[in-house]
Structure 1
């Protein structure tokens, strides 16, 4: 795949969608946004994770599979794409919330569905402190997120960091850009945003020279 396909990833509330929109506008890329609000199980999930995790994760997997299938048509038309998620996040959440027997079944379905999916050729990993993440979750005021606990978010952040390290090892050809959400405010600070866009542009230029 020759066209840039960038995915922005990180824990809940870190600013993935905001940064993806900014990249889309700056580089005139097609924007792919994950479906969250339409998941009918999400509110129940945060109330009782053990009871509703399998239904929640299967809904996300099926919807993301459909979205990425459609993205193939965009890339085939030689139009670049930036997404506010990478489908690998499904495994991060599923491994943490599903029972071992459920996860085994889930992983088998995941591997079948994602076998021929388009893979990004750049990943931007946004991370931030637990306090910052909880603050942003509270500020955006989503009803289904009101029951997210600090313990859950702390573990999720650790899971993300471990997974990104593993991702870099198995995909050494896909550059990962690390961005500190505590040090950078790309929403309110134009200089921070321009610095991020400069890093992305440089990485894209390096890729085109290979």
Structure 2
């Protein structure tokens, strides 16, 4: 049975580091709420596989390609579907800047920031961001399970650096209401109660920052 999103939550974006479960949760939310689903088209980036094999050589090309792709996709969100007015996405436009701060430096990062700053004000802000915050061990486990060849040699140190970058970014995030989810402990696929509790927490969001732990788990620290 579908459960429509309340009127103040027409656009929800799910965020998190590689392997956090963003796309899985976005699909489940869209199905549960009868919303239009928007997934990032990362597989269209021709530089991604080369980036994982040689980050210093291919970081700039990879990042600019993602920036252009995400900009086009996010701008299209301004066009509402006539029959499905709610949207659930598995990323935010802000994601691009988080990754760029990790992968770029010097003149390349300055050029990237100039381009991002021109684009960002024209992008619609989500009504809610759900940040799936997970441990590096859990991220590595999830990455291994999905079995993408270009992720096979992913360095845990890279995921740790991304996790730190995400934490710093969302610690200061105020553009949208923010729900920070303890994704290390939650299993919204295998534990229906976790998903139902998360749905309830999402529907109750009105503003500010809220922390979500599955029932019976220790409080999340941030």
TM-score over 0.5 for the pair: yes
For residues 14-53 of structure 1, what are the alpha-carbon distances to aligned partners after superposition, in whole Å with 9 as ceiling and x for unaligned? 0000111111111111111001111111111011111100
- Residue 59 (structure 2) aligns with: 53
- Residue 216 (structure 2) aligns with: none
Q: Which has the higher helix share?
A: 1
- Residue 182 (structure 2) aligns with: 180
Tell me the number of residue pairs that the alignment of Structure 1 and Structure 2 aligns: 201
Alignment equivalent of 1:202, drawn from 192, 201, 204? 204
Alignment equivalent of 2:96, drawn from 90, 97, 100? 90
Quick check: 1:8–1:86 contact (8 Å CA) kept in 2?
yes
State the structure with bigger RCO (CA 8 A, min sep 6), 1 or 2: 1
Quick check: 1:3–1:79 contact (8 Å CA) kept in 2?
no
For the residue of structure 1 that corresponds to 2:132, the secondary structure is strand
Distance 1:59 1:76, change over 3 A: farther
For residues 78-137 of structure 1, what are the alpha-carbon distances to aligned partners after superposition, in whole Å with 9 as ceiling and x for unaligned? 811111001111111111111221011011111112221111111101011111100110
Quick check: 1:128–1:182 contact (8 Å CA) kept in 2?
yes
Structure 2 regions of 5+ residues with no counterpart?
Answer: 1-6, 208-222
Distance 1:75 1:103, change over 3 A: farther
Quick check: 1:33–1:85 contact (8 Å CA) kept in 2?
yes
Is the aligned partner of 1:21 residue 2:23?
no
In the TM superposition, what is the alpha-carbon distance from 1:185 to its structure 2 partner? Answer: 0.2
Distance (Å, rounded) in 2 between the aligned partners of 1:17 and 1:59: 20
Distance 1:140 1:117, change over 3 A: same
For the residue of structure 1 that corresponds to 2:180, the secondary structure is strand
- Residue 195 (structure 2) aligns with: 193
Quick check: 1:3–1:75 contact (8 Å CA) kept in 2?
no
CA RMSD of aligned residues (A): 1.8
Distance (Å, rounded) in 1 between the aligned partners of 2:116 and 2:84: 27
Distance (Å, rounded) in 2 between the aligned partners of 1:69 and 1:63: 10
Quick check: 2:36–2:84 contact (8 Å CA) kept in 1?
no
- Residue 220 (structure 2) aligns with: none
In the TM superposition, what is the alpha-carbon distance from 1:146 to its structure 2 partner? Answer: 1.5
Is the aligned partner of 1:146 residue 2:148?
no
Is the aligned partner of 1:32 residue 2:34?
no
Q: TM-score, normalised by structure 2?
A: 0.86
Alignment equivalent of 2:70, drawn from 64, 68, 91? 64
Quick check: 1:184–1:192 contact (8 Å CA) kept in 2?
yes
Quick check: 1:39–1:59 contact (8 Å CA) kept in 2?
yes
